[in-house]
Amino acid sequence: MTSNAPMHADPGIQIEAQIPDLKRYARSLTRTEDDANDLVQDCVERAILKWHLYRPGTNLRSWLFTMMRNVFISQKRREAVANRYMAQVVHDDTMIARPNQMHSVYLKETVKALDALSSQERAAVQMLGIDEMSHQDAAAVNSLPVGTMKSRLSRGRANLRTVLQMSDGDL
């Protein structure tokens, strides 16, 4: 609508006539159809709210385009601030030490469960599971066949799972 068009009492009628041009401009700013539709909606909403600031006799299309550009820039600034905030939160989150009470409790329960094993099973779990010795080395240290060490480790792990109430894949 040009500046020579008669002023209607309802701003919606005048603004509605500008929507096709607003959509084209919004697509050029946002590059996506959905974002463009959202931008047009935000611009129309602001134009209706700020209608009292529009001066009759001036170019309505220019007023709306300027408003749309300002809305777009404000949204981009807010997005940038939000992105910086989220990046900071993620960074801060990696710097925060999590409470270690659960680890302490779990460790105490595990040590207690290890103490409940027979000395042979405990030795097998310690050498093979904790110290990460090979089966051959652990068998040689205890002067036992490799199969016996494997059997003691298997029984020790099964007993630990039972005591610690764990499933087969947890230990």
Residue-by-residue DSSP string for 106-165: HHHHHHHHHHHS-HHHHHHIIIIIIS---HHHHHHHHT--HHHHHHHHHHHHHHHHHHTT
DSSP 51: G
Residue with tokens 């981009």: 76
Tokens of 150: 């494997």
pLDDT value, residue 97: 66
Dihedral class, residue 31 (left if φ above 0, else alpha if ψ from -120 to 50, else beta): left
CATH for 101-170 (1.10.10.10, 3.30.230.10, 2.60.120.260, 3.90.1150.10):
1.10.10.10
pLDDT per position in the chain (171 positions), as tens? 444 444 455 788 899 999 999 999 999 999 999 999 999 999 999 999 999 999 999 999 999 999 999 999 999 999 999 999 998 888 776 776 666 677 777 788 888 888 888 889 888 888 888 888 888 988 888 898 989 888 888 898 888 888 888 776 665
CATH class assigned to 11-95: mainly alpha
Tokens of 99: 């409470």
Residue with tokens 């919004």: 26
Q: Are 15 and 64 in contact (CB under 8 A)?
A: yes
**Chain segment 61-102, per-residue pLDDT in tens:** 999 999 999 999 999 999 999 999 998 888 776 776 666 677
Tell me how far apart the alpha carbons of residues 65 and 162 are, in angstroms, rounded to a whole number: 71
Sequence-separated (6 or more) residues with CB below 8 Å from residue 116? 159, 163
| Residues of each domain in the chain carrying CATH 1.10.1740.10 | 11-95
Tell me how far apart the alpha carbons of residues 62 and 59 are, in angstroms, rounded to a whole number: 5
